[in-house]
Amino acid sequence: MSYPRIIGRQRRLPERKENYVNDTAPQSALREWRDHMVQPLRAACLFGAAAILGLVGPFETGESIRFVPRLGYWLAIVILCYSAGYFSSAITKRIVGPHSGMLKTLAVDGVMTAIGVLAMVYVINGVLIGYWATGRELAILAANVVAISAIISAVFFVAERQSMTDEVNKPAPSSLLDRLPFHKRGPLVSLSVEDHYVRVRTTKGEDMILMRLADAIREVGMTAGLQVHRSHWIALDQVTAAARKGDGAVLSMTQGPDIPVSRANISSIKEAGLLPRT
Q: What is the pLDDT of residues 219-253, one digit of tens each?
A: 998 889 999 999 999 999 999 999 999 999 999 99
Is residue 100 in some structural domain?
yes
Whole-number pLDDT of residue 162: 60
* 266 pLDDT higher than 80: yes
Quote the mean pLDDT of the chain.
78
Mean pLDDT of 194-223: 92
| Domain total in the chain | 2
Tell me, yes or no, whether 66 and 127 share the same domain: yes
- Provide the residue type at 276 as one letter: P
**Residue 189 structural domain:** 175-271
Among residues of the chain, what percentage have pLDDT more than 70? Answer: 76
Q: Kindly state the helix (H) or strand (E) to which residue 170 belongs, with its residue range.
A: none
Tell me, yes or no, whether 48 and 165 share the same domain: yes
Residues 6+ apart with CB under 8 A from 74: 50, 53, 54, 61
> What pTM value is reported for the model?
0.43
Is residue 22 in some structural domain?
no
Q: Kindly state the helix (H) or strand (E) to which residue 81 belongs, with its residue range.
A: helix 67-96
* 257 pLDDT higher than 70: yes
Domain boundary among 169, 199, 231: 169
Q: Band the pLDDT of 213: cuts 50, 70, 90.
A: very high
Q: Annotate 13-53 with three-state secondary structure.
A: HHHHHHHHHHHHHHHHHHHHHHHHHCCHHHHHHHHHHHHHH
- Sign of CA pseudo-dihedral 9, 12, 13, 19: negative
* 273 pLDDT higher than 80: yes
Is residue 258 in some structural domain?
yes
Is residue 89 in some structural domain?
yes
Say if residues 121 and 137 touch (Cβ distance below 8 Å).
no
Whole-number pLDDT of residue 133: 79
* 58 pLDDT higher than 80: no
Other residues' Cβ atoms within 10 Å of the Cβ of residue 109: 27
List the Cα angle 149/154/156 in 5-degree steps: 95
Domain boundary among 134, 169, 204: 169
Q: What is the pLDDT of residues 78-128, one digit of tens each?
A: 887 778 777 777 777 777 765 666 677 667 776 777 787 788 778 877 877
Mean pLDDT of 51-69: 81
Among 168, 177, 169, CA closest to 219: 177
Residues 6+ apart with CB under 8 A from 36: 42, 86
